[in-house]
């Protein structure tokens, strides 16, 4: 099947499939005319990659998971360790996002949002001390 059909069946774009091929994640056969010819095994790999990427696995982890998928003598402990490592990374990212949200909430609540040019959000982004907000000399709230 051609790349358009493979894209439709795998849920990936043709551009993504070409990228995966360029970095060696998939290797479709070539027809006599030079066009890519995707087999069922290629579709399996593409679907596998789509699901792994949807779970946020980085490309190199996907490469490792694909190799484990094709290894009948694999140890499930290796797969589990990779998944647990990814879970920790997701937890770290969630903590970073929560810290960003808290900072933005603090800055947004300190900003008057009126016609004055003083703004703790701009001050923070500029690297300035956002202690004063407006002419009243208010400081950022602690919560």
pLDDT tens for each residue of 40-95 = 999 999 999 999 999 999 999 999 999 999 999 999 999 999 999 999 999 999 99
Place of tokens 């579709």: 43
What is the C-alpha to C-alpha distance for residues 112 and 116, in angstroms, rounded to an integer? 8
d(CA 80, CA 18) in angstroms, rounded, equals: 29
Is a pLDDT exceeding 60 seen at residue 123?
A: yes
SS3 45: helix
Separation between Cα atoms, residue 27 and residue 39, nearest integer Å: 10
Question: CA nearest 28: which of 19, 37, 20?
Answer: 37
Residues 6+ positions from 110 with CB-CB distance below 8 Å: 120, 130, 133, 138, 139, 140, 141
> Residue 26 burial by CB count (10 A; 0-12/13-18/19+): exposed, middle or buried?
buried
* Structural domains present in the chain: 1-56 (1.10.1660.10)
Instruction: Specify the pTM.
Output: 0.76
pLDDT of the residue at 133? 45
pLDDT value for 129: 65
| Neighbour count for residue 42 (Cβ, 10 Å) | 21
Average pLDDT, the chain: 90
Which residues on adjacent β-strands are paired with residue 29?
37
DSSP state of 36: E
Q: If pLDDT is split at 50, 70 and 90, which confidence band does 128 have?
A: confident
* pLDDT of 142 strictly over 80: no
């Amino acid at each position: 099947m051609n790349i358009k059909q493979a894209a439709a069946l795998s849920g990936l774009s043709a551009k993504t499939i070409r990228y995966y091929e360029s970095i060696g994640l998939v290797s479709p056969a070539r027809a006599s005319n030079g066009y890519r010819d995707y087999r069922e095994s290629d579709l399996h790999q593409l679907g596998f990659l789509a699901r792994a990427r949807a779970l946020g696995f980085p490309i190199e982890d996907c490469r490792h998971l694909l190799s484990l998928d094709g290894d009948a003598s694999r140890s499930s402990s290796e797969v589990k360790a990779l998944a647990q490592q990814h879970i920790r990374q997701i937890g770290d990212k969630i903590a970073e996002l929560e810290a960003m949200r808290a900072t933005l909430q603090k800055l947004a609540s300190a900003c008057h949002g009126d016609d004055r040019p003083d703004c703790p959000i701009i001050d923070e982004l500029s690297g300035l001390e956002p202690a004063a907000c407006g002419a009243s000399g208010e400081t950022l709230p602690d919560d």
